[in-house]
Amino acid sequence: MSDKATLEKVKEQANQLSWHDQLKLVSYISDQLGNIAFDKDEDIDDFLRKQREREASRILERCKAVGRLWKGKFDAAEDIRQMREERNEQIWPSE
54 shares a domain with 20 = no
53 and 34 within one domain: no
- Does 94 lie in the same domain as 52? yes
Domain coverage including residue 11? 1-40
Question: What is the distance of C-alpha 95 from the center of its chain?
Answer: 48
The tally of domains found in the chain comes to 2
For residues 36 and 79, membership in a common domain is answered with no
- Examine the pLDDT at 47 and tell me if it is beyond 80: no
* Whether residue 92 sits in one domain with residue 78: yes
Tell me the pTM: 0.37
- Tell me: do 15 and 48 sit in the same domain: no
pLDDT given at position 75: 83
Q: Is 93 helix (H, G, I), strand (E, B) or coil?
A: coil
36 and 48 in a single domain? The answer is no
* Of 12, 11, 28, residue with least CA distance to 20: 28
Report pLDDT for 38: 59
Please say whether the beta carbons of 89 and 81 come within 8 A: no
